[in-house]
């Protein structure tokens, strides 16, 4: 019984297809070299791909490699292989126990590091390393043979690179569906179609355009209320007169402004006040020495020995002679 893949989006289906295309070569070689039968390996890998396609949509993509390899290594043909056919360059694998051979193939063929391979096999790190040591070739003295290990690794990688494309195409063929299912079963590379019919929303047909009576009625009622309120306010102001209550702080309209002419007798009479300095000011202005007193600062400056200002009443030379022109020297006297 194979797991039916859940309906997935086109983006998730593309990511799933890309992941399986990238891992199918290594997975097929690991399964084939583990069980020793290419046909059994292909059947086991197809079943794993179908089962993985059914749960991939519920897993983060970062967990896809671990879950895929876990599904593969726990298949019965890989845990307890019954065949024993291996090619000549890989005859060393025939003499290994299934756990040791699987530990070696996950490391060399699957390209997994020791921590990931140990977690997939549900083994502690020490037990996984012990299984790798059991799978390592030995030399004549019983010591680990590094050259033999490299030769085995190269043969496994060469088998992965030279895997025929026809075998990969057989992995993509869908398995025949049971009689109770639809005759066309979806492959693990295509998302399953949902049987539930798509719900269609009823299409509303456009009706004839009607006059918007409701909007017009609302506008008319609003305008009537506003006009009625304005008329009432105007009537209340005219009928109430001065008796209409005035709000606090407002000025009421008390009628026209009354203008009254004041009598001349009410004007205050202000007698001019004589200045107390009028007599002294008159004596000072009548003093004949007032002009001399006004220039007293100039006379004081001159008496103190100030320089005599230059007489600018006469025209001055445009190019004055040097200061040393009028000096007499001893050489001129001789």
Delineate the domains of the chain, giving CATH numbers in brackets.
10-171 (1.20.140.160)
Per residue in 29-88, pLDDT tens?
888 888 888 888 888 888 988 998 888 888 888 889 889 998 988 888 888 877 667 878
The answer to whether residue 330 scores a pLDDT higher than 70 is no
CA-closest candidate to residue 56, choices 73, 71, 41, 44: 71
Per residue in 107-148, pLDDT tens?
888 888 889 989 888 889 999 999 888 888 888 787 888 888
Model's pTM, two decimal places?
0.50
Q: In terms of residues, how long is the chain?
A: 334
CA-closest candidate to residue 75, choices 54, 111, 47: 47
The answer to whether residue 183 scores a pLDDT higher than 50 is no
The residue whose two tokens read 């305008």 is 223
What is the mean predicted confidence (pLDDT) over 207-222?
77
Question: Cα(38)–Cα(36) distance, rounded to whole angstroms?
Answer: 7
User: CA end-to-end span of the chain, whole Å?
Assistant: 147
Residue 175 contacts residue 188 (beta carbons within 8 Å): no
Question: Cα(29)–Cα(163) distance, rounded to whole angstroms?
Answer: 8
Q: Where residue 15 falls among pLDDT bands split at 50, 70, 90?
A: confident
């Amino acid at each position: 019984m194979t797991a039916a893949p859940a309906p997935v989006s086109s983006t998730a289906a593309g990511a799933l297809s890309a992941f399986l295309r990238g891992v199918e070569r290594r997975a097929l070689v690991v399964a084939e070299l583990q069980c020793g039968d290419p046909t059994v390996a292909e059947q086991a890998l197809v079943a794993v791909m179908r089962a993985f396609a059914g749960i991939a949509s519920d897993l983060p993509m970062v967990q896809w490699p671990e879950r895929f390899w876990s599904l593969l290594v726990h298949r019965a043909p890989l845990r307890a292989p019954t065949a024993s056919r291996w090619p000549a360059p890989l005859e060393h694998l025939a003499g290994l126990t299934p756990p040791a051979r699987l530990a070696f193939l996950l490391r060399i063929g699957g390209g997994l590091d020791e921590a990931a391979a140990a977690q997939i096999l549900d083994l502690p790190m020490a037990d996984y390393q012990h299984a790798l040591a059991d799978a390592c070739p030995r030399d004549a003295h019983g010591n680990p043979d590094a050259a033999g290990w490299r030769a085995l690794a190269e043969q496994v990688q060469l088998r992965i690179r030279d895997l025929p494309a026809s075998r990969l195409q057989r992995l993509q063929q869908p398995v025949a569906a049971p009689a109770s299912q639809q005759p066309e079963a979806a492959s693990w590379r295509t998302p399953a179609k949902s049987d539930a019919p798509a719900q269609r929303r009823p299409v509303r047909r456009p009706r004839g355009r009607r006059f918007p009576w409701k909007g017009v009625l609302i506008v008319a009622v609003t305008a009537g209320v506003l006009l009625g309120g304005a008329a009432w306010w105007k009537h209340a102001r005219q009928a109430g007169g001065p008796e209409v209550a005035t709000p606090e702080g407002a000025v009421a309209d008390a009628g026209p402004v009354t203008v009254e002419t004041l009598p001349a007798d009410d004007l205050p009479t202000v007698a001019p006040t004589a200045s107390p300095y009028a007599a002294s000011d008159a004596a000072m202005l009548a003093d004949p020495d007032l002009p001399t007193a006004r220039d007293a600062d100039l006379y004081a400056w001159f008496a103190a020995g100030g320089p005599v200002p230059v007489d600018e009443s006469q025209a001055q030379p445009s190019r004055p002679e040097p200061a040393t022109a009028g000096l007499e020297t001893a050489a001129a006297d001789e």
